[in-house]
Amino acid sequence: MDHFHFKRGRLYAEDVNLSDVAAKVGTPFYVYSHATLARHIQAMESAFNGYPHVVCYALKANSNGAVLRLLAQAGMGADIVSGGELFRARKAGIPGQKIVYAGVGKTESEIRDALRARILMFNVESTEELREIDRVAGLMARRAPIALRVNPDIDAGTHPYITTGMKKYKFGMPVEEALEGYRLARRLRNVDVVGVHKHIGSQLTEMKPFLESAERLVNFVGRIRAEGMDIRYLDMGGGLGIRYDTETPPEPSEWLRNLIPVVRSTGCTLVIEPGRSIVGNAGMLVTRVLYRKRNDLKNFIIVDAGMNDLIRPSLYNAYHRIEPLVRKKRAIIRADIVGPICESGDFFAHDRDLPEVRRGDLLGVRSAGAYGFTMASNYNSRPRVAEVLVRGDRFHVVRRRETYSDLMAKEQVPSFLKPSRKRAAK
């Protein structure tokens, strides 16, 4: 459930008419709903039903500072994959003790920063990385809490680019190798084994892969404990899907009601890393129709947002519901909705049925709160769009639209390319 709804034919976020926001901040922009975020957090938290847990929100889905602060104030921890995300999490007020750190390529300086922040645990993805964490912790006279990321070799049944728990992908370690990894960890002087981690993919819409991989993990915990190692945290990763179109993913309550019985016997604290299920349907992208055109084959609706603003359709052929912000009685047409970028892959929808829109009309691209702005780029020298947070009947710009000077702010022209005084004098 979200708080985007039509009132007298106009699309509102909570009590704010989104056409009014467009008039004030221009288009395109991302808009997030405070009440929806709060509701998703609450749904996730209450689903634990008293079972000990830490919810480590996956920053990669949406790392806007205001959104993070809201999540931090609601008690969320963080799942991070870079020093930059650590920085953002700390700035938002998320305590180190609620931060888990995954990713196959942690650098020495990132490891140092994480040790300094006294994070809950490193989710380690290879034995070389394990040795490096041990070395860096030794230099800093610290102990590094670690979990190894186990690759349970389960097909999550989602898009190949966002499936991670299979052997052919780069993530984690196969079970047997992970066992060796834990034996190594026990011998290393500066790491403490505290947990086990897995994450099998994203936008999962069935319980089965979650349950199968959880069972494998629990089984694995038994084997590590048999060797005398103490496992306190079971990190089941993220991946819970959302409804973009007609999917019917489990609700958080169903997800956890099924997962908790599998892990209960371990007595471990359950860590989860939801991203999309918290922010995905709490946001949308608002864009304006620039032009229409047609050829023998197709209608095209050209909008002012492009693949640089929301790349999911181009990259994963992802479906996003698109609808006019103002409902009018118009014929239904079938059209491609495309952006202004110079690539054929710059589209939001192919052969989509929608009411015939005209120049200047506003469109909402739904379910864009996750992996929308965080994957945006400046391709085609397009300034990144504004982000807006709605709460009740007010809205707040939580990231201003970039300017042309922002585009060049970090560039430097070497002196040999600068006009010399002599030449300038001529």
Catalytic residue among 1, 141, 331, 342: 342
Instruction: Please report whether residue 364 would count as binding ligand LLP according to CB under 6 A.
Output: no
**56 is known as an active-site residue:** no
SS3 28: coil
In whole angstroms, what is the distance from residue 274 CA to residue 66 CA?
Answer: 18
- The CB-of-312 to ligand LLP minimum distance in angstroms stands at 5
Alpha helices for 6-59 (secondary structure H): 18-25, 34-46
When the beta carbons of 102 and 338 are compared against ligand LLP, the nearer one is 102
Chosen residue from 28, 172, 181, 237 binding ligand LLP by CB under 6 A: 237
Q: How far does Cα 54 stand from its chain's mean position?
A: 18
Instruction: Please report whether residue 312 would count as binding ligand LLP according to CB under 6 A.
Output: yes
**DSSP strands (E only) in 308-372:** 322-324, 332-338, 347-355, 362-365
The two tokens of residue 122 are 């490193």
Instruction: Please report whether residue 276 would count as binding ligand LLP according to CB under 6 A.
Output: yes
Chosen residue from 2, 14, 113, 273 binding ligand LLP by CB under 6 A: 273
CB-based contacts of 112: which residues, under 8 Å, 6+ apart?
136, 140
Instruction: Please report whether residue 205 would count as binding ligand LLP according to CB under 6 A.
Output: no
Instruction: Please report whether residue 239 would count as binding ligand LLP according to CB under 6 A.
Output: yes
How far CA 257 is from CA of 50, 58, 74, 262, in Å, comes to 12, 21, 22, 10
Place of tokens 């790349």: 311
SS3 400: coil
When the beta carbons of 38 and 162 are compared against ligand LLP, the nearer one is 162
When the beta carbons of 144 and 156 are compared against ligand LLP, the nearer one is 156
**Strand partners of residue 336:** 300
Instruction: Please report whether residue 58 would count as binding ligand LLP according to CB under 6 A.
Output: yes
Instruction: Please report whether residue 198 would count as binding ligand LLP according to CB under 6 A.
Output: no
Chosen residue from 145, 274, 283, 313 binding ligand LLP by CB under 6 A: 274
Q: How far does Cα 378 stand from its chain's mean position?
A: 19
Total number of residues that touch ligand LLP (CB under 6 A): 22
- Answer for the pair 131, 111: CB distance below 8 angstroms, yes or no: no
Piece of the chain touching ligand LLP by CB under 6 A; list 40-48, 108-116, 235-243, 405-413:
235-243
Instruction: Please report whether residue 163 would count as binding ligand LLP according to CB under 6 A.
Output: no
Q: Which residues bind ligand LLP (CB under 6 A)?
A: 58, 60-61, 79, 102, 162, 199, 202-203, 237-240, 273-277, 312, 316, 370-371
- Residues with catalytic roles: 342
